[in-house]
Amino acid sequence: MIRISRASGKLVSWLLYGIAVARESLRHDVIYAFDLTTAGIPSALFSRIFRKPFILRIGGDSLWERVVEKGERSIPMRAYYEQGLFKKDRPTLYRLVRFVVRRADTVVIPCGFLKDLYIRFYGVSAEKITLIQNPFPPKSPAMIEEDTFTFLFAGRFVSYKNLVRVLKVFRDIAEKYPHARLVLIGEGPDEAALKARAALLGENVEIVPKVNQKTLFECINASSVALAPALTEFNSNFILEALALGKPALISRDNGLSANLPDSLQFDPMSDASLQEAMERMLNAIHYHAALSLVAELPMDQTWDKVVSEHAEIVRKSIR
């Protein structure tokens, strides 16, 4: 493992990273980048110069994420591309990303709808794209929360995670259901603003700093429902972890989750009413126990061993 210090600033660090990629490209048979820009751009460049196989793993969409994270737009990813906004907002970044994804010999994605995006809007050949969904941790029975009913979110505190909408909706829910709680775990640029809003809602809302995985699993076990309210959810590891621990999850529609959840566990991320209806449905004991039963029966055969094996096979094929 080679570490690049960030002490000298972003530009110098990125140049040092590029030099390291160039040097290591000469020493190895395959270049595998797990990032579209920071790692992807130098990897694409030096794979072309040194004629090395180039594998690119894409976890989301860096162009859309940068725009919505800064609050410049508030729109799901699919609509963003269908309206052609990607060419208006970041034309230079779009061209760089297009160069990287077209240069890759294999593009690995965690969810199906990214395949459609990179074929339609970036001109990537369908034959180059391989779907490897995110894995589930080992499955275990649900621990049932008593006396309170907690909705749990864990992730980055950024605009496109839609947490302002969650707090707004939960204000009405808390008035109708005094035993309902909302816990947000994470950190990020929106943290101060979210804490200020949460303070107005009293003790039923708690914001917790980022925790390690062991503590996160304890928090999931102590909750009732996991929330994934982002404008677009790619394939949330947090939700996969919650499902494996037997907890129902509410997730934005048009997501790329490794599990197919029914409509009753999905909502329109642009609609307060849709989110509130989904949350109130979980607060109904009959619906909640039906959701518990459904989650218990979900197939969760996408394991870490299977994911590692699929990645290893891609590398083997690239050097044959």
What's the mean pLDDT when you consider all of the chain?
93
Task: Note the pLDDT of residue 53.
Answer: 93
263 backbone φψ class: left, alpha, beta (φ>0; ψ -120 to 50): alpha
For the segment 157-168, the average pLDDT, to the nearest whole number, is 97
Is pLDDT above 90 for 2? no
The alpha carbon of residue 303 and the mean position of all alpha carbons in its chain are separated, in whole angstroms, by 18
How many C-beta atoms lie closer than 10 Å to residue 175's C-beta? 11
pLDDT, position 226? 98
pLDDT digits (tens, 9 = 90+) for 245-260: 999 999 999 999 999 9
pTM (predicted TM-score):
0.91
Q: What is residue 240's predicted lDDT score, i.e. its pLDDT?
A: 97
Alpha helices in 148-212 (DSSP H): 163-176, 191-199
Q: How far apart are the first and last CA of the chain?
A: 25
Q: What is the pLDDT of residue 4?
A: 75
Homologous superfamily (CATH) for 10-135+304-318: Glycogen Phosphorylase B; (3.40.50.2000)
Please check the confidence at residue 14 and state whether its pLDDT lies above 80.
no
* Res. 236 pLDDT band, cuts 50 70 90: very high
Where do the CATH 3.40.50.2000 domains begin and end in the chain? 10-135+304-318, 149-297
pLDDT digits (tens, 9 = 90+) for 98-147: 999 999 999 999 998 899 999 999 999 999 999 999 999 999 998 998 88
Q: Average pLDDT in the 44-70 region? A: 92
Task: Answer yes or no: is pLDDT of 318 > 90.
Answer: no
Residue 251 backbone dihedrals phi, psi, to 5 degrees: -135, 150
User: What pLDDT was estimated at residue 211?
Assistant: 96
Contact predicate 195/189, CB 8 Å:
no
Structural contact between residues 113 and 187, judged by C-beta atoms closer than 8 angstroms: no
Query: pLDDT tens digits for 264-282?
Result: 999 999 999 999 999 999 9
Homologous superfamily (CATH) of 149-297 is: Glycogen Phosphorylase B; (3.40.50.2000)
